[in-house]
Amino acid sequence: MRTIMYIVNTSFMVEPPVHERWYDLFVHQVIPFLREAGFGENEEHPRRIIFSRVLTNSGDPHYTYSLQVEVPDTAEYQRFMQEVMGEYQTIALSLFGEQVVHFTSLLKTIDLS
């Protein structure tokens, strides 16, 4: 029997004028902070962090990214939201205002075996 796992999925929509600065901040500060907070892979818990660019044919000028973080339970989801996204929101809002928006969903994995 497989363990129930959750995925915290956060989508970011980034306007072109701030894209380069936002991307640099995210890759060099947010992702390391996420790992330092205990999310992602380590020897005890092989949980993944997946950061990807969302490709669309819609012609929208903004960039869209997805951050997916595996967590074992809703308590870790709450910790992620408070510690990681709370810190991110404080920094991103002051630097980028409404040129970067995001939303987060909690997904419950389904075992198909």
Query: Taking the domains of the chain in order of start, what are their residue ranges?
Result: 6-108
User: What integer is the mean pLDDT of 87-110?
Assistant: 95
How far, in Å, CA of 59 to CA of 80, rounded?
A: 32
pLDDT digits (tens, 9 = 90+) for 63-94: 999 999 999 999 999 999 999 999 999 999 99
Q: What is 6-108's CATH topology? A: Alpha-Beta Plaits (3.30.70)
Under 8 Å between Cβ of 53 and 65: yes
Average pLDDT score over the chain: 91
Confidence band, pLDDT 50/70/90 cuts, at residue 1: very low
How far, in Å, CA of 94 to CA of 72, rounded?
A: 32
How far, in Å, CA of 61 to CA of 38, rounded?
A: 34
**What is the model's pLDDT at position 59?**
81
List, in sequence order, every beta strand (DSSP E) within 4-60. 6-14, 49-54
